[in-house]
Structure 1
Amino acid sequence: MSLLQAILMGVIQGLTEFLPVSSSGHLALFQILFHANTDTGLLFSVLLHLGTLISIFVAFHKDVGRLIREGILLFIDIILNIITFFENLFLRKDLPYRRVICTAYRKFVMLILVSTIPTGIIGIVDSDLVEMSETILLIPGACLVITGILLLIADRLPDGHKTPKHVTYTNAFMVGICQGLATLPGLSRSGTTITACLASGFDRKFAVKYSFLMSIPAVLGAAILEIKDCFGAQGSELALSGGMITNYIVGMIVAAVIGYISIKTMLVIVRRKKFTGFAIYCILVGIVSVVGYFIA
């Protein structure tokens, strides 16, 4: 892979990962229409995902730091409560239990964990369906139309006021289901989850923040699986030249920079209700794809 190709892939990854146009949908359409091999290799794919994770960490560094800290403290309190339970049970003590969800960020951690559960289950169950969908022009086309409709709905939903304190675990579970369904090519992950958050009454700024922060476990999980495949594959990609490694790293950095810009752009788009342009684009591309399927 040349340096120019690596930079181009980094730009595409950074834009489509966060803007509501569905990278998987466009990739599937490109593969089907042009019979092109868009496989960039497992190692480069992992680095691109790492780049988009870096952009999330930088854009929301204060929130990520608080979430990690409160997540660790939450885990410690759960362990201490388990110890207290057995002491009360076997030693006949009456020790008080610690309050586990005692801050807004601990509630935030629990909400993300609850959202991750259905996402993971759906991701495992429908993996074969997703793979099959990438080979049929009709499905990414129809999903792009659905994405466009969801974006139009998002712009017209009333402003909500829910922050972590007021978001219910049912809200988080439903948003997690939407994130799991968005693995279908053509369904934008950011567009689908942000719309689900807004429909649940989330504050608009918090809806964007929640959509991107809740993606961290899913992206990390996917990257870990790809790393395992990368090490296990025959003819491992780890035996790369120094120049190729440099190109890969440049692609990762570009994905991080463009991803950061895209996140900041999404915060403005959602706050000002400017999804219409993206919606029209997705609907038009989707309709052309669906019509093309039946003509072909």
Structure 2
Amino acid sequence: MRAVVLGIVQGLTEFIPISSSAHLAIVPKLLGWEDPGAAYTAVVQIGTELAVLLYFWHDIWTIGSGWVRGVFSKEARRAPEWRMGWFIIIGSLPIVILGLLLQDLIDREFRNLWVIGTTLIVLGLVLGLAEKFGRKVKPLDQLNARDAVLLGVAQAGALVPGVSRSGATISMGLFLGYERAVATRYAFLLAIPAVVGAGVYKLKDIGGDNAYGWGPTVVGTVVSFVVGLAVIHWILKYVSTHSYAPFVAYRVGLGALVLILVGAGVITAGTTVG
């Protein structure tokens, strides 16, 4: 039952800029369940990334095969797929490097609900500012190396639950002037190496007799794949005609609620910060 619920939570929240990792920390607290931990959170996200691989298989194949051709052919390096392949590679480096350097903080201190509630509010406001002041005119073919690095740095902020990988990347994309749908689409593609890599790396920490061992992890991953596939289709259609304002309000409201509940002692914050 827990695995199914958390799989649904992961699938619903991964592609919406409200932070899936925050919800995987908050929901168990509200239901009186044990914290699934950073390893479970990382591995179950593989399910939603498999949904991305399936949904964007044509884009991924085009970029991947174009990049490989460029390794061996000077002429192929003139193609946009060669550049896009490199942009995804260099954009993935910040989260990989910081993820390895900050592993202990990610596993413990960053999962504190005081931190999560605060980041939900702060990054929600950042998304609101990006939505309000971003020009939203640049297509994907105007992406350059500088923007790829900046988008990668923004994605690295998602190492802190509550930030939201898609939310941080989309916010940066909007600030840089990219169209809303373009920023969203690129955020999905950029997340693939980081999420799959983190999930595979954390596989070694799954197991034991706790409530989130291999069985629940597999179930949660499968459920997150199914739900995530539906959410990708919905969010890409939604952002083509709607703003991110409802998600900003949700983030701020949820963050405030979490801080109030922790402050009132209704739920515990988790690990001790510092």
Aligned mate of 1:19, from 9, 16, 35? 16
Is the alpha carbon distance of 1:75 and 1:234 closer, same or farther for their aligned partners in structure 2, counting shifts above 3 Å? farther
- Does the alignment pair 1:113 with 2:89? yes
Farther-moved stretch of structure 1 (10-19 vs 25-34) = 25-34
* DSSP 3-state at the match of 1:161: coil
Aligned mate of 1:68, from 45, 64, 70? 64
Looking at structure 1, the residues matched to 135 and 98 of structure 2 have their Cα atoms a distance apart, in angstroms, of 29
Looking at structure 2, the residues matched to 192 and 285 of structure 1 have their Cα atoms a distance apart, in angstroms, of 17
What amino acid is the match of 2:238?
I
> 8 Å contact 1:74–1:106 — kept in the other structure?
yes
Alignment-derived partner of residue 134 in structure 1: 111
Cα shift readout 1:173-207 (whole Å, capped 9, x = no counterpart): 01111111111111111111111112112233221
Q: How many angstroms does 1:213 deviate by? A: 0.6
Looking at structure 2, the residues matched to 182 and 193 of structure 1 have their Cα atoms a distance apart, in angstroms, of 9
Q: How many angstroms does 1:139 deviate by? A: 1.1
Looking at structure 2, the residues matched to 214 and 173 of structure 1 have their Cα atoms a distance apart, in angstroms, of 11
What amino acid is the match of 2:237?
V
Alignment-derived partner of residue 269 in structure 2: none
Q: Which has the larger radius of gyration?
A: 1
Looking at structure 2, the residues matched to 8 and 290 of structure 1 have their Cα atoms a distance apart, in angstroms, of 23
> 8 Å contact 1:122–1:181 — kept in the other structure?
no
What amino acid is the match of 1:254?
V
- Does the alignment pair 1:161 with 2:130? no
Aligned mate of 1:257, from 204, 217, 226? 226
Aligned mate of 1:103, from 76, 79, 85? 79
Looking at structure 1, the residues matched to 230 and 171 of structure 2 have their Cα atoms a distance apart, in angstroms, of 21
> 8 Å contact 1:144–1:186 — kept in the other structure?
yes
Alignment-derived partner of residue 28 in structure 1: 25
Q: Where does the alignment leave 5 or more consecutive residues of structure 1 unmatched? A: 78-97
Alignment-derived partner of residue 266 in structure 1: 235
Q: Give the TM-score normalised by structure 1.
A: 0.77
What amino acid is the match of 1:70?
G
* DSSP 3-state at the match of 2:77: coil
Looking at structure 2, the residues matched to 117 and 285 of structure 1 have their Cα atoms a distance apart, in angstroms, of 31
What amino acid is the match of 2:110?
S
Is the alpha carbon distance of 1:229 and 1:140 closer, same or farther for their aligned partners in structure 2, counting shifts above 3 Å? closer
Alignment: residue pair count:
262
Q: How many angstroms does 1:21 deviate by? A: 1.5
> 8 Å contact 1:154–1:275 — kept in the other structure?
no
Q: Give the TM-score normalised by structure 2.
A: 0.83
Q: How many angstroms does 1:252 deviate by? A: 3.4
Cα shift readout 1:61-112 (whole Å, capped 9, x = no counterpart): 21011122112212334xxxxxxxxxxxxxxxxxxxx256311111110110
Aligned mate of 1:281, from 218, 230, 250? 250
Alignment-derived partner of residue 173 in structure 1: 149
User: Identity over the aligned pairs, expressed in percent?
Assistant: 27
What amino acid is the match of 2:222?
I
Looking at structure 2, the residues matched to 167 and 219 of structure 1 have their Cα atoms a distance apart, in angstroms, of 22
* DSSP 3-state at the match of 2:18: coil
Aligned mate of 2:55, from 56, 59, 77? 59
Looking at structure 1, the residues matched to 177 and 16 of structure 2 have their Cα atoms a distance apart, in angstroms, of 21
RMSD in angstroms over aligned alpha carbons? 3.0
- Does the alignment pair 1:202 with 2:171? no
Aligned mate of 1:221, from 184, 193, 197? 197
Q: How many angstroms does 1:282 deviate by? A: 1.0
* DSSP 3-state at the match of 1:224: helix
* DSSP 3-state at the match of 2:33: coil
Looking at structure 2, the residues matched to 278 and 256 of structure 1 have their Cα atoms a distance apart, in angstroms, of 22
